A = this chain, B = another copy of it.
Amino acid sequence: MFFQNSRRNFIKTAAVGTLASLSIPQIVAAASASSKTRKIKLEKDDVILFQGDSITDAGRDKATLTANTLKALGTGYAFLTTADLLNKNPDKNLSIYNRGISGNKVYQLADRWDVDCLSLKPNVMSIMIGVNDFWHTLTNGYTGTVEVYKNDYIKLLDRTKAALPDIKLIILEPYFVNGIRPEEAKWHPTFDSYQQVAREIAEKYQATLIPLQSMFDEAVKQAPPKYWTPDGVHPSMAGASLISHAWSDVVKS
């Protein structure tokens, strides 16, 4: 039911008795509460993988492949989350990788999946993918549809689960922040259907969903849209921190 993801449901989980705007900690708590049946418990020697597009990539050095390495993590939510996880779980010997690549759509993840996911044998995989699957239909003639996105995503996760049956999945909902981009009207309602697919896939695979669209929709009541994402897609430092706090909050230490 929470995958309906309506504002009323989102707020209900925040345990506030009002439809007034939420503080940032309330937004994070609401996101976490809506995933409460799927909290992730980290275990000793866990390997954690961040996968996705430019939002995950965030300028990482792609020549550096070792775990827990600063320049290999970029300067976005994956780095912020890694620093927090390593700090709070010193006894767990975690190995954390970022393998996001700017511009990626689902089929491009699939092209490099053996090397950039399966061979790393992650116990926990976090994935944020989908904005380019739609965006590139506007910008560079990509002809994939929402059905292609859905089928590619399901194939990717089926393949992942076949190789790594016990993997714990965290799916970050792709988001788009209104009030910034001139072509905004072209994003709706088509991109919304991509988001719906991501939520359904999280349900299908019993993944932990981080409802980023609801979170950013609430956050823009606290500061203008550009405060959270200068271009409507890529997060600012504040936006990356918002994502990171939601991520940390669904992981039990």
Contact = CB atoms under 8 A, between A and B. Distances in A.
Contacts of A237: 68, 70, 73, 79, 82-83, 86-87
Contacts of A25: 88
Given A75-B70, A75-B75, A75-B79, A86 B222 contact: no
**Most chain B CB atoms below 10 A, which of A24, A25, A219:** A24
A168 B156 CA distance: 52
A116 to B, nearest CB: 21
**Most chain B CB atoms below 10 A, which of A227, A237, A239:** A237
Interface stretch (A36-44, A49-57, A117-125, A240-248): A240-248
B75 A222 contact: no
Contacts of A45: none
Interface residues of A, number: 30
Contacts of A5: none
B24 A236 contact: no
Interface string A58-96: 000000000010100101000110111011101100000
A223 interface: yes
Nearest to A69: B237
Nearest to A221: B90
Interface of A: 24-25, 68, 70, 73, 75, 79-80, 82-84, 86-88, 90-91, 219, 222-223, 227-228, 236-242, 244-245
30 contacts: A24-B87, A24-B88, A24-B90, A25-B88, A68-B237, A70-B75, A70-B237, A75-B75, A75-B79, A80-B80, A80-B83, A83-B237, A83-B238, A83-B240, A84-B241, A86-B236, A86-B237, A86-B241, A87-B238, A87-B239, A87-B242, A87-B245, A88-B241, A90-B219, A90-B222, A90-B223, A90-B227, A90-B228, A91-B222, A91-B223
